[in-house]
Each structure stands twice: as structure tokens, then as C-alpha cells.
Amino acid sequence: MRKNPIFRGAATALVTPLNENGVDYPALERLIEWQIAEGINALVICGTTGEASTLTDEEHRQVLQFSMDVAKGRVPMIAGTGSNDTAYAIDLTKFACQIGYDAVLVVTPYYNKTTQRGLVAMFTAVADASTKPVILYNVPSRTGVNIEPATYAKLAEHPMIRGIKEAGGNISKIVETAALVGDKLDIYSGNDDQIVPIMACGGQGVISVLSNVMPKETVAMCQKFFDGDVAGAMAMQMQYLPLINALFCEVNPIPAKAAVAAIGYCDNYVRLPLVTMEEQNRQKLLACMRDAGLNV
């Protein structure tokens, strides 16, 4: 086990509160304060769930800076700086490092994609430019490209590449990756329905959508596992599975934004090409939230 992981437990892939006028900064501040008060282990700002792909460059940087100013070093802060334009990813990574982020999260290139050799070259270029640890983000269902275990093993040799957010869903590949990278890379689940299974493969926790509305419970699930109560952690995994499934019944972060709005922390507003949740699906989501103990 790595002695000093970037974080251990649950990090929220935070939604970015938006409205028709732009970023809702007062709502973002309330949301960050609530997450920290609930005991979240880390925060990821401007990731996929944060709708980074439709933030302007100025908004992206402002949200990163504002979030750092609010958090004030109370939890590890991770900046989403990935792009299918490597030069832009490098520029954002440098900015996040300069303003004090603890790590950056860099997704595989989407749409233009690349080969496995291209992934090594791209991630190496970003890591070479970074002064903070880099977490690789593998989510082939969204990007159309998958990081193979052997590629992880090559990238693990870079001193700045320290972690993996693995959302490929293939447990066999994750086991193979863990065997190849050993303690060189911290593995985090990128799927809320696989938090405990991936920790059983040596994972350090989760970068979570669920924790947007249940931060305390997501942290507790991870902590139970770390404390040796695997059965208790798995019971929580299964208890919250209906809500997890509801949070992904439409494209993320559409349901996540609706859920955070339902508990009063932001408007239910997403930017095109995303549209708000189908009403029948929203009602199912609210029912799952109530069943999970949320007052909505």
C-alpha cells in the first residue's frame, strides 16, 4: 500500500451549480461547505459531473479558483484538467498546480481518441508539465478509448502519475492492473456500484457521484471496509444500489444535478447538449432518494 495516497475514502465528483446567468457561486460555496461538514475525504472540481465540457475556459478557471478559496485546505482538492486537446490539458494542469490543487484528474481523449502508445505519450506530456500528482481517468463508455493494464504499467513508471480513476467496469481488468502496478498507482473506483469490489482489489476508495447527495454515507461505506467490516461495507453497497442506479438512469450528470437540486443546494439546470431529467425518471429518482433516507 502506498504510504501517502492523494486521498483515502470518498471524493465527491462535485456538480457545478449553474443557472441561466452562468455559474451560481453562492450555491457552489454552500455545496462545498456542506460536503466538508459531512466529512467528505476529498473534492473533485470541474470533472465530468461538474459539466466541465460546457464551461468556458474563463469559467473553468474561475470555478477552480473559487473552490480552492472556499475549501481553504480543509480537504484534498483535485482539479479536472483533462481534454482531448493535449495542449489545453497541459495549460489547465499548470494553472491548477499554480493555484494550489493537491492533484489533477486527466481523462482519456474523447472523440479523436488515440492508440495505447498515444495514451502513454499524452499522459506523459501532461505529467511532465505537472508539479502535482496526476490521476488517470478511464471511462471508455464516454470516451471510446480504454486504458489497458499494460499501458497502466508503463505509465506507473512516471513519478507524477500516482492514481487511477477506473470506470471501465471490468473487474478482471482491474485485478490485472492491480497485479501489474502494485503500490505505484492508487486505484479509485469511478463507478458507485463497484466501490467495495474495487477496494477488495486493493483500491483506495471512490471518486463518487453518489456522494453529491450522500457524502457521509459514502465515506462510511469506505471506512467500514478499511476497518475490516467488509460485510458491513457490502451491505451499504447493496442498500444504496437502487439510488446509485437511479443516479445513472440518464446521462451523468443529469440525474445528479436533479438530485442535488432536490436537497436544496442548486437549481436543476444543465447546459446543452444536456437537458433536464424526464419527469417520470425524476420521480423514480426522488423515490429512491426517499428510500435511502433523504428528505425530499
pLDDT per position as a tens digit, 189-209: 999 999 999 999 999 999 999
Residue 24 region by backbone torsions, left for phi larger than 0, else alpha for psi between -120 and 50, else beta: beta
Cell of 255: 440525474
In a domain, 59, yes or no: yes
Structural domain includes residue 286: no
Is pLDDT at 1 greater than 50 in this prediction? no
Is 5 a residue whose pLDDT tops 60?
Answer: yes
Please indicate, yes or no, if residue 34 is contained in any of the structural domains.
yes
Query: Cβ contacts of residue 37 below 8 Å, gap of 6+?
Result: none
CA-based nearest residue to 81, from 160, 149, 145: 160
Share of the chain above pLDDT 70, in %: 99
Q: Is 3 a residue whose pLDDT tops 60?
A: no
Closest C-alpha among 169, 93, 160, 115 to residue 138 = 169
Q: Please give the Cα distance from 33 to 18 (Å, whole number).
A: 17
Q: Which among 165, 188, 224, 257 is annotated as catalytic?
A: 165
Q: Determine, yes or no, domain membership for 235.
A: no
Distance CA 15, CA 20 (A): 16
Asked if 165 is an active-site residue, the reply is yes
Q: Count other C-beta atoms under 10 Å from residue 172's C-beta.
A: 9
Q: Write the pLDDT tens digit of every residue in 42-55.
A: 999 999 999 999 99
Q: What is the CATH number of the domain that holds 137?
A: 3.20.20.70
E strand or H helix at 43, and its extent? Answer: strand 42-45
My answer on whether omega of the bond before 197 falls inside 30° of 0, hence cis, is: no
Indicate if 137 belongs to the active site. Answer: yes
Domain that holds residue 23: 9-229
In whole angstroms, give the CA distance from residue 28 to residue 75. Answer: 16
Mean pLDDT over 91-104 rounds to 98
Angle ∠(262,220,184) on CA atoms, nearest 5:
110
Q: What are phi and psi of 150, to 5 degrees?
A: -65, -30
Cα–Cα distance for residue pair 212/138, rounded to 1 Å: 20
Counted domains in the chain: 1
Annotated catalytic residue within 137, 152, 188, 240: 137
278 belongs to a structural domain: no
Residue 10 burial by CB count (10 A; 0-12/13-18/19+): exposed, middle or buried? buried
- Mean pLDDT for 56-78 is 98
Task: Note whether residue 28 is domain-resident.
Answer: yes
Q: pLDDT tens-digit profile of 127-157?
A: 999 999 999 999 999 999 999 999 999 999 9
78, 188 Cβ separation under 8 angstroms: no
Q: What mean pLDDT is reported for the chain?
A: 97
How many residues make up the chain in this entry?
A: 296
What is the C-alpha separation between 139 and 47, in angstroms, rounded? 12
Q: Is residue 152 one of the residues assigned to a domain? A: yes
pLDDT score, position 2? 53
pLDDT tier for residue 276 given thresholds of 50, 70 and 90: very high
- What amino acid occupies position 156? A
Pair 53, 63: CB distance under 8 Å = no
Instruction: Tell me how far apart the alpha carbons of residues 191 and 205 are, in angstroms, rounded to a whole number.
Output: 11
> What is residue 4's predicted lDDT score, i.e. its pLDDT?
79
Q: Is residue 63 part of a domain?
A: yes
pTM more than 0.85? yes
Alpha helices by DSSP H, the chain: 25-37, 57-71, 86-98, 116-129, 140-143, 149-155, 171-181, 195-200, 215-226, 230-239, 241-246, 254-262, 279-291
C-alpha grid cell for residue 158? Answer: 512516471
Q: Which residues lie across from 80 on neighbouring strands?
A: 105
Mean pLDDT in residue range 286-293: 98
